[in-house]
Structure 1
Amino acid sequence: MTELKKGGPVRRQIVQEEGSGREDSLLSVCKRLLQQQSFSNQGELRVRLEELGYTGISQSTVSRLLLQLGVVKAKNACGKKVYCITVETAPVNVKSSIASQIEFITHNQSMVVVKTYPGSAQLVARLVDSDPHREILGTVGGNDTVIIIPRDIEAIENCEHVVKQRLGVA
């Protein structure tokens, strides 16, 4: 945490450093707030975070938090659009458990194929899609097969390598 002084009382501002634990704490608090309360805009969420002691939170920080949490806007029972976290939109992280769901990864002249155990293909496709890469044009996930379309079929081996790295199989 860094303290800033602007001609008056000391104001605390969060400095989000990778691996500091503070960002995870802010992310956890934001997630809990979204699960417990309704917020119709980023300003409302920012104000609530400040009330909890997280001062110096900018709109862009709130926007990044919402993106990391996979938040969507949906109508509540009163018809008002509010931010929601759903299982479907929760962010996916690469873990060794993902690799355990994959039978094999291969390619032909035009696409990369990831064969998974039944029911895992859509999760794997979402994981590949969650962080766009210049080698990957798009994915299609079925029940137990993911088809990955490379941007350039001349670089199909590079595309397969990227997919393997993303899925922890490389």
Structure 2
Amino acid sequence: MTSPMKYNAIKLVSKVFKRKIAIRDWKCFHHFEEGVFLHGLLLYGNINEKTLDGPKQFSSFAKCTTIEEKLLALKPKNLDFVQAAGLPLTIETTYDGLERTGFSVGKLILVLGGVGGVGSLPACKTSVWCLKSRTATSSTRKLELMKSLGTDLTIDYTKEKFEDWQRNSM
């Protein structure tokens, strides 16, 4: 018999994929009514979502935890677990940074460190938000990578002074 807490956790994960699921790999759940059993379900997410009073409290050595469906996503196939584990915080930091700047359609932005985790996301995402991206890279050898991310202009700060670029762009 599945306990109510385990049943609710399975329901949460089931909603994400819109089908009945039992997760045997977690060794917490053994069945879910007559549902489909999926083996090797690879998810990532951020279970540390903030609440009104601060971060959620949870046990760090728990074998299982319940996670709200909005905090989960399928792990991209081209990433390993370590890379996928960094995505939620990177995405949140990027979005928060752009939101704090008061970005709007057509606005120019300068992304410092544009090939790092946080820096590379706005370089890509600026086209989604109709922004023009200005990006400083960390080295000459990373210029092509910056261009492949879709930036409008790449700056090699080892060869160009930011002040000169700023005067010329205004």
Q: TM-score, normalised by structure 2?
A: 0.29
Larger relative contact order, structure 1 or 2 (CA cutoff 8 Å, min sep 6): 1
Q: TM-score, normalised by structure 1?
A: 0.29
Structure label with greater radius of gyration? 2
More strand by share: 1
